[in-house]
Amino acid sequence: MRLDKYLGQNTNLSRSLAKKAISSGQISVNLECIKNTAFKVKMSDQVLYCGEPIVTLGHRYLMLNKPLGYICSTQDELHPSVLNLIDIDKPDRLHIVGRLDVDTTGLVLITDDGQWSHRITSPKRNCQKTYQVDLAETLNAALSRDIIERFKKGLLLKNEFKATLPAQLVIQSNQKVLLSIQEGRYHQVKRMFAAVGNHVEALHRVSIGAITLDTQLSEGEWRYLTEAEITSMN
Ligand code: URA
């Protein structure tokens, strides 16, 4: 990585201040003063800024239990962003992997690794997301069978021309179901139930691929992902 980019990522310096620090001789790599901003640094190099070692942050991967009322983008006039719940250094480097609606709760993944998040959100990967859904209308046995079949086959959502990919529905009780989908269309779960004459009262994401929301996390709490959770998306 270029030295100015490395400093921008691992210190409080902006890219332009990083360039100034380099050209004014404040940076050394492996004890040699480097004044070339494009100098290539390896992760194993020892970089000093005014004689002090720089601690690299590396990539960060988190799961959050999203509460109601928070949005998965930057703050608007009405709602705070879920990123406000992440009390770590350089939160502005982080981005949210896929979005949940303001009234949806549950598993949100957050990282600063763009390639990793792309693997999860890329339509080519068909990464499975599972939701706990509370329904307004009661399901009887016949209705349940019908909806399971329609979701499995794929159905047309309002104003769309391409059927949804096969989805799995597990009936837990007559108003509670688990739905697994492989896509991330706008308001997809709510629109799928609207398409079969029902209405989603509450929506909670429980898993993304092999990563399941940690039941130890209360709403609004987060933790770093384990190595196994991170590599499960490779
Ligand atoms: N589907 C929805 O309708 N809303 C969400 O937040 C996620 C999936």
Mean pLDDT by 10-residue block, N- to C-terminus, for the chain (234 residues)?
89 89 96 96 88 83 98 87 91 91 98 93 94 97 97 96 97 97 96 97 98 98 96 92
- The tokens for 213 are 């929301």
Residue 44: CB atoms within 10 Å: 6
Whether residues 101 and 216 share a domain: the answer is: yes
Q: What is the pLDDT of residue 234?
A: 86
54 touches 7 (CB < 8 A): yes
Nearest-atom index, ligand 1, CA of 99: 6
pLDDT of residue 20: 95
Q: Are residues 33 and 85 in the same domain?
A: no
Name the pTM for this structure.
Answer: 0.83
The verdict on residue 181 lying in a domain is yes
Looking at the structure, tell me whether residues 47 and 69 fall in a common domain: no
What is the chain's mean pLDDT, rounded? 94
* Domains held by the chain: number: 2
Quote the ligand 1 centre to 73 CA distance (angstroms): 14
Instruction: List the one residue out of 131, 135, 134, 136 whose CA is nearest residue 66.
Output: 131
Model pLDDT for residues 117-170, shown as the tens digit of each residue: 999 999 899 999 999 999 999 999 999 999 999 999 999 999 999 999 999 999
Residues 11 and 111 occupy one common structural domain? no
Percent of all residues in the chain with a pLDDT value above 90, rounded to a whole number: 83
User: Does residue 101 carry a catalytic annotation?
Assistant: yes
Q: Is 139 in the pocket of ligand 1 (CB under 6 A)?
A: no
pLDDT value, residue 54: 86
Q: How far apart are CA 173 and CA 229, in angstroms?
A: 30
* Cβ 102 under 6 angstroms from ligand 1: no
Q: Among positive and negative, which fits the CA dihedral 84, 88, 89, 93? A: negative
| Residue ranges making up the domain that contains 128 | 61-227
**Mutation probe of ligand 1 site: the residue of 107, 187, 204 with most atoms within 8 A of C-beta:** 187
Q: Give backbone dihedrals phi and psi of 100, rounded to 5 degrees, phi first.
A: -115, 150
Q: In terms of domains, do 65 and 173 share one? A: yes
What's the residue count for the chain?
234
